[in-house]
A and B are shown apart, each in its own frame.
Chain A
Amino acid sequence: MCDTCGCGDTDELKIHDRQPVHDHKHDHNHDHDHTHPHSHEHSHSHDSVLFTQSHDHGAKKVISLNVDILSDNNRLAQLNRKSFEARNVLCLNLVSSPGSGKTSILEKTIKALIANRKIFVIEGDQQTLLDADRIEKSGAPAIQINTGSGCHLDARMVDSAFKKLDVVPGSILFIENVGNLVCPALFDLGEFKRVVVISVTEGEDKPLKYPYMFQSSHLCLINKSDLLPYVDFNTDKTIEYARSLNPNLEFIIVSAKTGEGMDLWFDWLSRQK
């Protein structure tokens, strides 16, 4: 999967290596086995055809593919997943809109757990090393991916970053995705579980507005609970909306600032195998 989005240029992608350099060559040529030298009939219910023109195949060759356009990313994500499992690494993909407090949650998590468990972080942002700096100050090795104008991380970026982080067996690998509730929902990174963070300063209708993200997540952290007395955020309504989309979604209400609920989050982490 490409590392660009919008008007991005692939040269914009930067992976900031803070670890000793291991320069691996990766071959990303992928063959698909779906090509047949003959045409198939397709039966789709077509709402509309946006671009068409009548055509005569004549001596031309029709290649019937039916290849999922995300299949390359999905295949790489599956390889990442196997790689994490083989090393007994618990990989979690943290997603949210910008400003929900993902980095603050990670900082507090690292400080609380680092004595007993190794933690590594892959940070995704369009620009700057600010988040990776914050994470490293908390005590965990971090690698920063700058996506340039890209709006999400993909499995290939995670693969490259993972190979540069010397992740030890039994550790937790957090991937802090680019703050965006839209695009990251479609890109499997190979994580064991996806954690969506929402803060009480956002509207309780966010799950309904961004259903893909809430449908594809396993846990929802509702952050900034210390601000509940000052905002019109209806926690029950948020949970109701999100569960209407994803009945299996778990919830933990936390405040990274005061520490409220963080023990429940740590318990949840310890239960993930």
Chain B
Amino acid sequence: MHEFSMAIEVINLAQREAEKNSASAIQEITIEVGDLSGVEADAFGSALELLVKDSILENATISIIRTSGKGKCNTCNLEFEMNHRMAVCPQCKCFPSKISGGDEFRVVSLVVD
């Protein structure tokens, strides 16, 4: 459910950036949601689509990029694709591994007029 809070935060962030850049409208916004970020990309996207009405993002194209999870084994240092936080190292079967990617949740860029 925190996806709604996050969506509001994105709208506020976009508003601030538009003001800083004296932009009257935002054409596009690109947001990266890592698979291990704790944010459900689909729920977040739906929340954002619902909440943009009457905001600076109302007419913006929203691009949500999902980034796959990556882990590095604490034992054998193997880097591997991590589908979830409890993934076991495919090489030495050790656990846990350090998350080395896919925990990002950020606004990548905006395109303004």
**Which A residues form the contact surface with B (CB < 8 A)?**
1-8, 29-32, 35, 39, 42, 44-53, 55, 57, 60-70, 72-73, 150-152, 154, 182-183, 185-187, 208, 211-212, 215, 244-247
Q: B13 at interface (Cβ–Cβ under 8 A)? A: yes
Q: B53 at interface (Cβ–Cβ under 8 A)? A: no
B62 to chain A, nearest CB (A): 5
When A6-B4, A51-B45, A211-B85 are in contact, do A64 and B108 touch as well, CB less than 8 Å?
yes
Bin chain B's interface residue count: 35 or more
Q: What are 29 sample pairs from A and B whose C-beta atoms fall under 8 A apart?
A: A1-B9, A2-B12, A3-B5, A6-B1, A29-B16, A32-B17, A35-B21, A42-B108, A42-B109, A45-B70, A46-B65, A49-B64, A51-B61, A55-B28, A62-B109, A63-B21, A63-B110, A65-B108, A65-B109, A66-B108, A67-B107, A69-B10, A70-B6, A70-B105, A150-B5, A151-B1, A152-B2, A183-B1, A187-B2
Tell me if B105 and A39 are in contact (CB < 8 A): no
- Report B1-29 CB contacts with A as 1/0, cut-off 8 Å: 11011101110110011001101000110
Supplied contacts A46-B65, A69-B31, A70-B9, 10 more A-B pairs, CB within 8 Å? A1-B5, A2-B8, A32-B16, A46-B68, A63-B111, A67-B13, A69-B105, A152-B2, A185-B38, A245-B86
Q: Give every chain A residue within 8 A of B2 (Cβ-Cβ).
A: 5, 151-152, 182-183, 186-187
- Report B31-58 CB contacts with A as 1/0, cut-off 8 Å: 1100100110110010000000000000
CA distance A183 to B1 in the complex (A): 7
CA distance A31 to B39 in the complex (A): 24
CA distance A145 to B11 in the complex (A): 24
Tell me if B6 and A69 are in contact (CB < 8 A): yes
Q: Give every chain B residue within 8 A of A39 (Cβ-Cβ).
A: 109
When A53-B61, A247-B96 are in contact, do A66 and B8 touch as well, CB less than 8 Å?
no
CA distance A247 to B86 in the complex (A): 13
